[in-house]
Amino acid sequence: MTIIMGCQSPRSEGTPPSLAPLLVTDSLVLHLDAKTAYKTEDNIDYFTEGGKEYLAKFNRPDQSIKIFSITLGKTIKTINMSNTGPNALVGMDGVPGNFKMISMDSIMIYSAMQAKVFLINSKAEILDKWNVITSRDEPKYPTFDGNTFSNMIINKSSILLIGSISMYNDGEPPILMLDKSHKEEGQKHIPKNLEIYDQFPDRIMVGSREFFESSNTMNDNGDIIVSFALDDRVMILNENLEPSYTILKNPKLGELKPYGKPLTMDEYYSDRYYDFLLTAGRYEAIIFDPYRKVYYRLASLPRTISEVKQGHKSPDYSIMVYNEGFKPKAEYTFSLADYNPRMIFVSRQGLNIMKQNDKEDYITFHTFITETR
């Protein structure tokens, strides 16, 4: 780790002066072996074991999970998966990259193609599996990703998959609870009374799939906080999975706007919808930081079509920081030209965001912390 002392991120334009800035304090460099791709946005997962810190990354070229030691800054283990044979894990273009590290020898894998959640060991041997009903089976069911910002929640008796909101107003709720003991009656969709997206009388006019996606995180109390792309509110599920809602609005997003027309096939391929995709803002992620007891809510900011067509403005992203009581504490805006918004994780050191560079033998994360006031 390289320490960058005294490097303060400039206050973002339009950020209220009452909010503290984020400070860049560290730089984490992870060296890549010859088989690990740099220019990918595949899933990552930070975890600790035996007091040591690790970052796991799905590596598409060799269909593996690479485990990096944060202290050593290099790969210390590779979990090679296969899409054939008795331990087949099948994805769209090889094996699925949706995973959750429980430990070095216990990994949850979600395969949308197989409609299953798998428990595998470090040899990629399947130890257990659970069936999942998704929108592939019935359009009114949620779509699940199990990616960097949409984690599988694992506890003693159940597995929670938190997916997208259905495009249908009468669709199934977005959270699927799987009973670990495989009891069919233990599998159910929750919550039945969903207030999120109730501002849209007809969801089919909202837009395509990315405008229904969710992100989730868990705090120290075991509450699960779920953020959705086009809603200023987040849903909070307590230990009994009872929902409540609170507003965590990013003022830089302005009014969240749906597409406003039924998304037929012709409409989906129209210039009008393409312009909407390029310019619409939305929430991307919610992340709890257990070390600093704060929440980060990431949003992609809206642009004008003239900015897009002139080609001189990269998309901007904004991170709002909230304390445990959901009071705003800080804000930071960065450009896609500078940082990769899909490669973010929290560690003991702070909030780590991948720096864009043109090197292929290492990746660099800048580590941010909120200024103490």
User: pLDDT tens for residues 127-169?
Assistant: 999 998 877 778 888 888 767 899 899 988 899 999 999 999 9
Domain limit, last residue, from 106, 131, 156: 131
- Kindly report the average pLDDT of the chain as a whole number: 89
pLDDT on residue 6:
36
Tell me: do 74 and 118 sit in the same domain: yes
Domain limit, last residue, from 111, 131, 151: 131
pLDDT on residue 73:
96
Tell me: do 102 and 12 sit in the same domain: no
Q: Tell me which residue of 55, 20, 18 sits closest to 319, measured CA to CA.
A: 20
Evaluate whether residue 106 is within a structural domain. Answer: yes
Tell me: do 304 and 356 sit in the same domain: yes
- Between CA 350 and CA 367 the distance in angstroms is 6
What are the residue ranges of helices labelled H in 234-333? Answer: 265-268, 271-279, 305-310
pLDDT on residue 158:
92
Evaluate whether residue 189 is within a structural domain. Answer: no
Q: Which domain holds residue 115?
A: 39-131
Q: Higher confidence at residue 101 or residue 4?
A: 101
Q: Higher confidence at residue 6 or residue 362?
A: 362
Tell me: do 225 and 315 sit in the same domain: yes
Evaluate whether residue 169 is within a structural domain. Answer: no
- Between CA 247 and CA 214 the distance in angstroms is 15
Evaluate whether residue 253 is within a structural domain. Answer: yes
Tell me: do 121 and 208 sit in the same domain: no
pLDDT on residue 238:
94
Q: What SS3 state is found at 116? A: strand
- Between CA 6 and CA 354 the distance in angstroms is 20
Evaluate whether residue 164 is within a structural domain. Answer: no
Q: Across residues 319-342, what is the average pLDDT?
A: 94
Task: Classify the phi-psi angles of 182: left when phi > 0, otherwise alpha if psi is within -120 to 50, otherwise beta.
Answer: left
Evaluate whether residue 143 is within a structural domain. Answer: no
Model confidence at 9, in pLDDT bands (50, 70, 90)?
very low
Domain limit, last residue, from 131, 152, 178: 131
Tell me: do 59 and 25 sit in the same domain: no
Tell me: do 224 and 356 sit in the same domain: yes
pLDDT higher than 50, residue 29: yes
Model confidence at 313, in pLDDT bands (50, 70, 90)?
low
Tell me: do 204 and 282 sit in the same domain: yes
Give me the percent of the chain exceeding a pLDDT of 90. 68
User: pLDDT tens for residues 169-193?
Assistant: 999 999 999 999 887 666 788 998 8
pLDDT higher than 50, residue 223: yes
Tell me: do 123 and 21 sit in the same domain: no
Tell me: do 16 and 106 sit in the same domain: no
- Between CA 121 and CA 361 the distance in angstroms is 28
Tell me: do 61 and 9 sit in the same domain: no
Evaluate whether residue 137 is within a structural domain. Answer: no
Evaluate whether residue 315 is within a structural domain. Answer: yes
Contact 217, 151 (CB under 8 A): yes
pLDDT on residue 11:
42
User: What is the number of structural domains in the chain?
Assistant: 2
- Between CA 153 and CA 149 the distance in angstroms is 12
Give me the percent of the chain exceeding a pLDDT of 70. 92
pLDDT on residue 16:
59
pLDDT higher than 50, residue 340: yes
pLDDT higher than 60, residue 4: no
Tell me: do 88 and 20 sit in the same domain: no
pLDDT on residue 188:
87
